[in-house]
Structure 1
Amino acid sequence: MSAPPRAAPLEGVHVLDLSWVMVGPASGRYLADMGADVIKVESSKRIDPVRTLGPFKDGKMGPERSISYHNLNAGKRCVAIDIRRPEGREIVLRLTRWADVVLESFTPGVLETLQLGYSDLKRRNDQIIMASTSLLGQTGPYAKGTSGVGTMGAAMSGATYQIGWPDREPTGPFGPWTDAVTPRFIVASILAALHRRSLTGLGSYIDVAQAEAGIQFMMPAYYEYAANATIPERCGVAGSPLQIPQGVYGCSGEDRWIAIDASAPTHWDALRTVIGGELRDAKFDTIIGRLRNRAELDKAIAGWTHEQGVEAIEHRLQAAGVPAHVVSGSGNLVRDVDIIESGYLNKINDPVFGEAEIEGPRFSLDRTSLPATRRGPRIGEHTKEVLATVLGMSETEIAQLDEAGLLA
């Protein structure tokens, strides 16, 4: 008989989330998924901007109706505190004594001005692990005062320049790209810091620059210039210049596409067998021949895919052992049988807008259980609960703070 699942891996870990928009909140969401108790600090006087970005359930705008907010902050608690006032900052510092981890994504220098920087927090809790994320990190000639979101991070990392057609302006990756990739680095660093603290008792300060996280994905372009003084230019098509056939090909129907990578010899032989026709020409027998005649080969493949439905092509090529997949749109992902079967999308119920679907945990663990996916918190939903149970404040003390306008 197998042993029953153990508690979630981060059960008992306390996280104070001072971040907003995407990269910091997404990092906190990962920690909540692993069982950490995450308290988000917000204020109705200056709400998290992602509450204004949507998409909004049923198309009705409102700070409590943003599905993006719920997705990034699922499973957290929320306290409303005006941290610009000394009394509000004192509450945050007291929460620091409770916290194991603090997340923040302010423009460098802002928290120090508010006396909530790492040195201030460390005086209250010398074992604290603090993770800061900004576009260029906390140090360096351009870091201080540089603000922005992952769209700027993509440009700074070099990703924006690489994407698009050679005769047009750069288009860049979709959305605030480094906001999406940076949490992977932040969470891994926090887990390492928690492990280190368990061995040494020492806290840590983690400084993650979004641009540097993006550069990790752009190193081939960087080394091309470092090694050969060559700047890779936009080529407008998917795939590597040294691998063929590899790319995206149009199919029948409106805006339907299939991604194919048959660059390996066995995959090429299988694709050639399935398509036949022009692909049997002797000039395509070798990789050199295929590279020299790339445009003609791609045209022949596109001519074959153009006449067929994308799902039928995917099934036929995969059955033959050729790596191929539909280029998915949002509708495809919602209906994807593997995503549905894995439980990746979870339903939440919210008192404001009712039922909606958001992402569940991005991973599963066979020896530990994970907490059920919960909706994101409303602004200040847990303020009194946290002040009473975490800080031990009386009802009278909480009421006085509320009357003074600190808890809004």
Structure 2
Amino acid sequence: MEALNIKVVELADFVAGPYCGKLLSDFGADVIKIERPGVGDRSRQAGPFKDDVPNPEASGTFLYLNTNKRSVTLDIEDEDDREILLGLLRDADVFIEDSMPGELARLGLGYEDLRRLNPRLVVTSITPFGQTGPYRDYKAHHLNLYHASGQGYLLPMWAVDLNVPPCQGPGYLGYFDGGMAAATATLAALFARDAGGRGQHVDISVQHAMMNQERSQLRRFFDDGVSPNRTGKGRLLESLVECKDGEFAVVILSSQQQWEGLWRAMGKPEWGMQPPFDTQKGRSDNYHALRLKLAEWARTVTQDELFHSVQREGSAAAPILTAEGVFGFEQYRARGHFVSIEHPVAGTLEYVRQPTRLPNVELPPLRPAPLLGQHNDDVLAGLVPSRTRAG
């Protein structure tokens, strides 16, 4: 079975759109990335940079998000370049774009224009709030969207200090949610097209994608009309604890069976079978006191000892791995989850591979993220035979 065999044109930058393109390219799609001449994707300026030396060809964010793609430079405000873009889209399968609603239509590149050009084209539009609704024209940063999705209200959940005000998720987590939702919807649209349908317009709201990832706590409001309590009381009683080696772990007490397993792992302390901790309701109503008890015990064992002792008793716990712990984790290494890729400017770096393993599919070898305009000649030769384009 061959890898994904589709042509994708990506007119998007930073994280959400490029991550959608990356997911497709890593499965074998030919992703042609359109970048602004002389400037490129703004993630090229974002870093982090190796040795903290800024270089648009060596941004860690850009390098990760654009593996296996080809870079072409076009200025879509230029009429000639728009014609070249239309030439690329004439036989494309997918067009990923992240312009604000109506912006491409102003240039003759709206969905209705492209549908007439190529009825089989799937156009995936990724915007902060979607193509419709009162917020459709609002721009937003990750900070705005994270809190607009409701997820910020729920953080911190496992923090040692639960009085910390609501906070934003780390990095560009919400943008990755939007990119993943876009890739999933794009593949669904391609399946529908190839099953006898036609191309369509996929409308992705990053805000909605982020909210959709929170399926437990926000849903409680829809279920019973009660706003979830972000301090932990009355929840599933997850508790973040610090171990004696300075590492962290989470223990989960969502059932009587899990509590009993944890109690045995702790050495069967007498307080665990006495009121108020002898019932699920008592533990929930006295969650703060319970957290103190758990924290006291955790400081007597290492992270590894805590995890394996709780695991042996059939209860639930999870070590909180540091970045160093993740990259050294033997399970990742055994599955080949990290791979080295050589880049002409950034050098050889280790990258995270996609998590899927398909025994009957031969995926293409990983190629480094492209230099700005690196593939102008290869991609545009047939469209602009009279000139050589540079980035």
- TM-score calculated relative to the size of structure 2: 0.92
1:67 and 2:60 are equivalent in the alignment = yes
Tell me the residue number matched to 1:151: 143
Tell me the residue number matched to 2:2: 7
Q: Is the 8 A contact 1:102 1:128 kept in 2?
A: yes
Among 152, 158, 181, the alignment partner of 1:160 is 152
Distance across 2 between alignment mates of 1:297 and 1:232: 20
Change (3 A) 1:342 1:219: closer
Q: Is the 8 A contact 1:15 1:100 kept in 2?
A: yes
SS in 2 for 1:185: helix
Tell me the residue number matched to 1:138: 131
Among 313, 330, 343, the alignment partner of 1:337 is 330
User: How far apart are residue 212 of structure 1 and its match?
Assistant: 1.1
AA partner of residue 241 (structure 2): Y
RMSD: 2.1
AA partner of residue 175 (structure 2): D
Contiguous gaps of at least 5 residues in structure 2: none
Among 246, 254, 264, the alignment partner of 1:273 is 264
Q: Is the 8 A contact 2:340 2:350 kept in 1?
A: yes
Tell me the residue number matched to 2:387: 398
User: How far apart are residue 104 of structure 1 and its match?
Assistant: 0.6
Among 84, 89, 112, the alignment partner of 1:91 is 84
1:139-160 CA distance string (max 9 Å, x none): 222212x223333221211212
Tell me the residue number matched to 2:304: 311
1:186-224 CA distance string (max 9 Å, x none): 112111111111122411110011111122134555554
AA partner of residue 183 (structure 1): G
SS in 2 for 1:131: strand
- Sequence identity, in percent? 29
Change (3 A) 1:346 1:55: same
Tell me the residue number matched to 1:324: 317
- Equivalent runs, 1:257-272 vs 2, <5 Å: 257-272=248-263
Distance across 1 between alignment mates of 2:293 and 2:223: 35
- Equivalent runs, 1:5-404 vs 2, <5 Å: 6-8=1-3, 10-11=4-5, 13-144=6-137, 146-164=138-156, 167-218=163-214, 220=216, 222-226=218-222, 229-235=225-231, 241-244=234-237, 246-254=238-246, 256-275=247-266, 276-283=268-275, 284-388=277-381, 391=382, 393-394=384-385, 397-399=386-388, 402=389
Change (3 A) 1:259 1:201: same
1:316-368 CA distance string (max 9 Å, x none): 22233332221122111111111111222111101112110111123111221
Contiguous gaps of at least 5 residues in structure 1: 1-5
SS in 1 for 2:124: strand
Change (3 A) 1:360 1:278: same
Distance across 1 between alignment mates of 2:217 and 2:278: 30
AA partner of residue 2 (structure 2): A
Say which is worse superposed, 194-203 or 168-177, in terms of deviation: 168-177
Distance across 2 between alignment mates of 1:29 and 1:362: 13
Distance across 1 between alignment mates of 2:349 and 2:355: 18
AA partner of residue 277 (structure 1): P
Change (3 A) 1:277 1:223: closer
Q: Is the 8 A contact 1:178 1:210 kept in 2?
A: yes
Distance across 1 between alignment mates of 2:89 and 2:73: 16
Q: Is the 8 A contact 1:94 1:124 kept in 2?
A: no
User: How far apart are residue 225 of structure 1 and its match?
Assistant: 4.0
AA partner of residue 258 (structure 2): H
User: How far apart are residue 383 of structure 1 and its match?
Assistant: 0.6
Distance across 2 between alignment mates of 1:350 and 1:33: 17
- TM-score calculated relative to the size of structure 1: 0.88
Q: Is the 8 A contact 1:272 1:279 kept in 2?
A: no
